[in-house]
Amino acid sequence: MSGIGTKPSAANEGVNIKSKAFCIIGNPIEHSLSPLMQNAAFRHANLNYSYIAFKVPADELQGAVESMRKIRMAGFNVTIPHKVEIVKLLDKLSDEASLAGSVNTVNNENGQLVGYNTDIDGVLEPIEKRISNFNGLNVLILGAGGSCRAALVGLARKKGINTISIFNRDQSKLHRVIRLGFDLNLNCIPFKFEDIVKLSEVSMKSDLIINTTSIGLQGEKSPVITDFIRKDTVVFDIVYKPINTDLIENAKKAGAKIIFGYEMLLSQGYKAFEIWTGMKAPREIMKQALFGIFGEPK
């Protein structure tokens, strides 16, 4: 006598039928390409996993995390504006996440939510492709949130950096990241975001400019303009949609070297996949999911 479920269906042959759910939380979230990238990787690895995006306002973060505990969400990514606030809602942190004081990847490990920071490698990996000698380097960072923290931890791995100038509106956040920089033995200098004259002066002296804010996501104009970007400067905008933000366009006009936001998206996404699955990330598959038949933008 045959019974229901005694034989797997053809559709499931060769597939791990253990289902797991993953997601990304943030606000805004409509722009996120993480579901496209991670779902492609899960399919390629024959994993019965799914990944979706949830819009979570700041005042609903705690409730969202509690809900994910209850439904036993296998893991999730964290984006703006929750990367720092999420820390106090987790059970454990990796060493690097603890050092940065920010988390962008969470893994459910036997019922405990463990926070990781894959943004650190996400920021550093594309920079290392353009800069080999960090000795005497002057860096300008816009923003003082979780991505700035990740950038500082990553840059602290490099020897010889001269200064890191950080511009931010919220002065309390700014001074907290300056303290992080001090703890990492980095020479970080705080500036008010609104001081456009000083921003222009610092921009002209900077060898590396990193935008870690959401400026550009909605088409906003960058405070760093073409006239104050040197040709030999590396300009990195973590905003990946649109690909060509105003800052990226300004950098192109200046003839500077460009790091697109999608490069960080991919690098941190590879690491997240590996944390969740214990498998090597299918990098080309994830990249193809983003760019399709047209290939990587230049």
Residues 6+ apart with CB under 8 A from 130: 234, 257, 259
Token pair in block for residue 42: 């899960």
Amino acid letter for position 47:
L
> What sign does the CA torsion over 126, 143, 51, 105 have?
positive
Q: Of residues 83, 129, 173, 253, which has the active-site annotation? A: 83
Q: What share of the chain is helix, strand, coil (3-state, %, to 5)?
A: 40, 20, 35
Active site residue 83: yes
Judge whether 154 and 120 are in contact, CB under 8 Å: yes
Q: Are strands 188-192 and 208-211 parallel, antiparallel or unpaired?
A: unpaired
Measured in degrees and rounded to the nearest 5, phi and psi for residue 236 equal -125, 120
Q: List, in sequence order, every residue forming a beta bridge with 168; answer none if it has no partner.
A: 192
Positions marked active-site: 83
